[in-house]
Structure 1
Amino acid sequence: MERKKLIDRLPVWLRVSVYFTIIIVAAYIAVVVPALDSISFYFGIALLLSFLFLKAEGKPLTSLGFVPACATDWKNFFRGLLIGLLALLTSAGLTIWLNSGRLVFTGRADPIYLLILIFIHLWSSFAQEFTYRGYPFQRLLKSYGLWVGQLAITLPFAIMHLKLNTSITWQQFLMTWLTTGLGSLLYGLCYLKTGKLVLSIGLHMGWNLAQALVPRSPGENKTMLFTLVQNARDYHPLNVLLPYIGVTAILMLFIWRSKTWQANEKSSNS
């Protein structure tokens, strides 16, 4: 009881700051000890921190809404997966067309490798959504409202996508913050509409899985399924950025306006 009172006396912004500070310190440790540099390591830190904070607040881990508990949750996961796949494919198709490229099928659709890829992206998407849209996002949302909750998470989400790369320019950092920030807002919106992380996990997985299979630029010109044939002189980064922004914006509007998602009672997650 005393520990719960102590945690309750700490402002939410301080709890979230401690949470991300420890994760960032862990990331620096992983730079020094490369064997630790994995999504499992970061997830383990986030899981432990979430457990300790929630236990002190008298709440279970499951209150974060990451466990499918009914048929609606599973429907939302698979709907999110399909939407994520289609959204990335649309963005990639526009990018390739604008850059005067074309895809050539490699003929090497290895089903075992594809299953491994599916598992990797399921695990990665689950770990990221738990870490960023779990405890910190939900506590900020409850205490400070929608805009603070959504915008505050975009910064640590961008930092971790940069893998603590100190050699990047401010322009590169701001571009990463913009692109990953839009994704963070999209995944946060999924939670706002359903009260659970299941939809965002599915959408995140679908997007990343399609991204791993469909090359969009000369730097990623070959995947297991396709080779991108393109004149490098015709490539322009804006032709990657603008379709991404447009598709993401349309997707956010669709999810926000759609009546498809059945929101669960958020009182159990607060």
Structure 2
Amino acid sequence: MERKKLIDQLPVWLRVSVYFIVIVGAAYIGGVIPTLDSVFYYFGIAMLLSLLFLKAEVKPLTSLGFVPTCAADWKNFFRGLLIGILALLTSAGLTIWLNGGRLVFTGHVDPVYLLILIFIHLWSSFAQEFTYRGYPFQRLLTAYGPWVAQLAVTLPFAVMHLKLNSSVTWQQFLMTWLTTGLGSILYGICYLKTGKLILSIGLHFGWNVVQALVPRSPEEGKTMLFALVQDARDYHPLNVLLPYLGVTAVMMFFIWKSNCLQKAK
């Protein structure tokens, strides 16, 4: 009871700050100790923090809305999956076309590797959505509204995508904040629209798994399915950024205006 009173007395911004300080600290440790640097490690930290805060607030972990409980949830997952797949393919297609490249099918498909890849990205997408659109986003949303919740989560979400134990320029940091921040807002819109994490998990998964199979730049070069044939001298980063910005904006508008993506009863 005393712990519940203590938690209740803390403002939401302080609870969320403590949550993200621990997450960022764990990410730094994971960068220093490679054996810890895994999705399981980060998810375990987020799960523990969420359990501690929710227990003090006398709320179950499932209140975060990550468990499908009805047919509408499963429909939202597969709708998100389809949107994510189509969006990445559109962004990749525009990028490759603008940079004057082309994809060549490798002719080699390893079903076991493909299944492992699917599992890894499904798990990673779930862990990221639980960590960032779970307890911290939902508490900020309830206390301060959608604008504060959306913008506040973009920074730690960007930091997660950086290697904290290596030097990062301000330009690299701001570019990461811009790109991942837009993604964070997109996934936040999924939660605002449906009241659960299911849609954002599906969309995140669809985007990431196809991104792992379709190379868009000389650095990515070749995946299990495709090789990118392109003169590196013709490559321009803006041709990656602009399609991404455009496709993300379209997804935001479509999801927000869609009548088929309603909150589950």
TM-score, with structure 2 as normaliser:
0.98
Distance (Å, rounded) in 1 between the aligned partners of 2:28 and 2:106: 39
Contact residue 28 and residue 165 of structure 2 kept, 8 A: no
**2:227 aligned counterpart, secondary structure:** strand
Q: How does 1:147-162 map to 2 (within 5 A)?
A: 147-162=147-162
- Which residue is equivalent to 1:207? 207
Percent identity between the aligned chains? 81
Q: Which runs of 5+ in 1 are unaligned?
A: 266-270
Shift, 1:25, TM fit = 1.4
- Which residue is equivalent to 2:15? 15
Are 2:123 and 1:123 equivalent residues in the alignment? yes
- Which residue is equivalent to 1:260? 260
Distance (Å, rounded) in 1 between the aligned partners of 2:102 and 2:32: 41
Quick check: 165-174 or 232-241, which moved more? 165-174
* Superimposed CA distance per residue, residues 109-167 of structure 1 (whole angstroms, 9 cap, x where no aligned partner): 11111111100000000000000000000000000001000000000000010021541
**1:227 aligned counterpart, secondary structure:** strand
Q: How does 1:67-216 map to 2 (within 5 A)?
A: 67-216=67-216
Shift, 1:23, TM fit = 1.2
Shift, 1:173, TM fit = 0.5
- Which residue is equivalent to 1:268? none
Contact residue 72 and residue 264 of structure 2 kept, 8 A: no
Distance (Å, rounded) in 2 between the aligned partners of 1:31 and 1:96: 32
- Which residue is equivalent to 1:37? 37
**2:163 aligned counterpart, secondary structure:** coil
* Superimposed CA distance per residue, residues 225-248 of structure 1 (whole angstroms, 9 cap, x where no aligned partner): 000000111100000000000000
Distance (Å, rounded) in 1 between the aligned partners of 2:36 and 2:165: 17
- In the TM superposition, structure 1's runs of 4+ consecutive aligned residues that sit over 4 Å from their partners are none
Size of the aligned set, in residue pairs, is 265
* Superimposed CA distance per residue, residues 37-72 of structure 1 (whole angstroms, 9 cap, x where no aligned partner): 111101000000000000000100000000000111
Distance (Å, rounded) in 2 between the aligned partners of 1:60 and 1:163: 33
Q: Which runs of 5+ in 2 are unaligned?
A: none
Contact residue 31 and residue 165 of structure 2 kept, 8 A: no
- Which residue is equivalent to 2:234? 234
**1:213 aligned counterpart, secondary structure:** coil
Q: Identify if the C-alpha distance between structure 1 residues 165 and 99 changes in structure 2 by more than 3 Å, giving closer, same or farther.
A: farther
How much is the aligned-residue C-alpha RMSD, in angstroms? Answer: 0.9
Distance (Å, rounded) in 2 between the aligned partners of 1:195 and 1:91: 27
Contact residue 189 and residue 252 of structure 2 kept, 8 A: yes
